[in-house]
Amino acid sequence: MNRSVLFLALFAGLVILAWSGYFARSADDDDLFEVDVKGVAIDPSTNSPVVILVGKEHRKAVPIFIGAGEAGAIARELEDVETVRPMTHDLMMNIIEGVDARVERAIITDLKENIFFAQIILRVGRSKKTIDSRPSDAIALALRAGAPIFVSADVMEASSSGDLTGWMVEESLSKRFGFQVQNISGELIEAMELEDEEGVLVSDVRDGGPADREGLHRGDVILRLQGSRVADVEEFNHLLIDLPEREEIRIVVAGPGGERDVSLSPQDEEE
């Protein structure tokens, strides 16, 4: 066999290998759904932080329970909050960039026995490195790197939720009025000598937001919204989601000083 024929055979083999690798990667990507990070909320049934991922195309929601520290890391990045010194995920990004690597993507790969598994794909020069990770860490790093986040088809099918009402209200409530709510416990009802078990607890108030400016505090209990009694978070959410986006909300709040009326105007996006 002369050199020309050998060269052509070798070239053809390389082309076949390259194309087969390309199609294999494409098939793998077909099993992945790109998602947006909708936000971080408190699950009212467990009072635990949840990060909500929503498919870009199919709009299915994937809620993933995470730790408080990781929830804070994700929320800080979503809200563009700067810290005086690098926090853990900021430090990790500094290290990655310091060794001339970059986060290429994050993938939520599997769900086994209610535990989510994830991978961080790093690009180091011409090579890729796959790092096993918790989903919360992978998401926090991908957000900081501006890298896409994907969920496998199996995870999407097993964990997606079609009802986004609660999560949508949590995000809207936080952005528009600067506070969040959760279901109230029996112990707090007894301690505050409330008449019954109706009402929702103010679980967080953002500094400088409309709720903070009007004197709403963590630990206050909202009894009424727009004149209607509020039994729990689910009822509160359905009352709020029906209101026009720019409408003021009127609430009746029970706190250490007794009941009081509070009116809140939605915060402008640029504030």
pLDDT tens digits, residue range 118-170?
Answer: 999 999 999 999 999 999 999 999 999 999 999 999 998 887 655 554 555 56
Predicted TM-score (pTM) of the model is 0.56
In this structure, are residues 161 and 151 in contact, taking their beta carbons and an 8 Å threshold? no
- Side-chain half-sphere of 237: how many Cα atoms within 13 Å? 19
Distance of CA 245 to the CA centre of its chain: 21
Q: Is the pLDDT of residue 263 over 80?
A: yes
Of 37 and 237, more confident: 37
Average pLDDT of the segment spanning 25-49: 74
CB count, 10 Å around CB of 49? 21
CA distances from 163 to 63, 64, 123 (A): 11, 15, 36
Predicted local confidence at residue 250, as pLDDT: 92
CA torsion 97-98-99-102 (nearest 10°) is 0
At residue 14 the predicted structure's pLDDT band, cuts being 50, 70 and 90, is very low
Predicted local confidence at residue 128, as pLDDT: 93
Q: Is the pLDDT of residue 270 over 50?
A: no
Question: Which percentage of the chain shows pLDDT scores above 70?
Answer: 76
In this structure, are residues 183 and 198 in contact, taking their beta carbons and an 8 Å threshold? no
Of 206 and 39, more confident: 206
How far is Cα 261 from Cα 239, in angstroms, rounded to an integer?
17
In the chain, the domains with their CATH numbers are 30-159 (3.10.690.10), 165-264 (2.30.42.10)
Q: What would the pLDDT profile of 171-214 be if each residue is shown by its tens digit?
A: 667 777 888 888 876 666 666 555 556 788 888 898 888 999 99
How far is Cα 50 from Cα 136, in angstroms, rounded to an integer?
10
Average pLDDT of the segment spanning 18-29: 41
Predicted local confidence at residue 132, as pLDDT: 96
How far is Cα 164 from Cα 80, in angstroms, rounded to an integer?
24
Backbone phi and psi for residue 53, each to the nearest 5 degrees, phi listed first: -105, 135
